[in-house]
Structure 1
């Protein structure tokens, strides 16, 4: 299942230039605030609070930072392709260059977990992640993300 209901075209950052995990989370929170109308600071604080519980770097250069906000009305995401991989304290120790930040309502419960699982499943596809890493523009990244995995079974 593609990510069309989670990530909008204006929620794509094709060339994120950051050197640290914190600055990546700040930049992505800023974009999340712009596309949602929510406070970028509140988004950043929620994501950072979750990150303190354990890294959301899931391995293979991928991170899915996430948080919940009282004022958030629906689950949404921001996708960033980093110019250079950064340390994200990932489970496998590998630096991260693909980040999908998810924000959900406080009461999202199972829907939040389903969204996280869907993003992880899609970003686990090696063909899709190779294409994401090779794509340099927002519209191209959006097209890849919204077509879904390249090797999935129906």
Structure 2
């Protein structure tokens, strides 16, 4: 699975503002709901419920909020670079400024995990987070994600 299969160019956001983890998840839920045609409250509730099971703050300023949602037909992702980092209860205690949100159909076991793995591979590429932080436009961010 390629990043372009998960995150469309219109799903790359820059300079996102949020004062808290909850506000960030709510804002991204609204935007990904608009892209996927789902109810924004249903998206937020599912992602927040998953987040309450354990933080998806990966570390090094990156988070992967995600959920499986009834009524969704295919995996849908979004990337956001924050204007200012927010506390995300990350494993390393560092605030988050790069966020990959992923929603998947309720019964998409393998596809959901494959998509998460594809997103996490970006982080394993040396220097990728620095490149994402230094990118000057959403076009440049999208190119980095798909390199």
Bin for the TM-score computed over the shorter chain:
over 0.9
- SS class of match (1:118): helix
Q: Map 1:1-12 onto structure 2 (within 5 A).
A: 2-12=2-12
Bigger mean CA deviation after superposition, 53-62 or 118-127: 118-127
- SS class of match (2:103): strand
CA deviation vs aligned residue, 1:103-150 (integer Å, no higher than 9, x gap):
000110021111112211212334111110011422111111111xxx
Q: CA RMSD in A?
A: 1.2
Distance 1:45 1:108 in 2: 18
Tell me which residue corresponds to 1:96.
96
- SS class of match (1:31): helix
Which 4+ runs in 1 deviate beyond 4 A? none
CA contact 1:13–1:81 (8 Å) conserved in 2: yes
Tell me which residue corresponds to 2:123.
123
Distance 2:31 2:136 in 1: 18
- SS class of match (2:74): coil
- Return the offset for 1:2: 4.3
CA deviation vs aligned residue, 1:74-124 (integer Å, no higher than 9, x gap):
011010000111110001111110000000001100211111122112123
Distance 1:122 1:146 in 2: 9
Distance 1:18 1:66 in 2: 18
Bigger mean CA deviation after superposition, 46-55 or 116-125: 116-125
Length-normalised TM-score, structure 1: 0.91
- Show structure 1 runs of 5+ residues with no match: 148-154
- Show structure 2 runs of 5+ residues with no match: none
Tell me which residue corresponds to 2:60.
60
Distance 1:132 1:104 in 2: 24
- SS class of match (2:10): strand
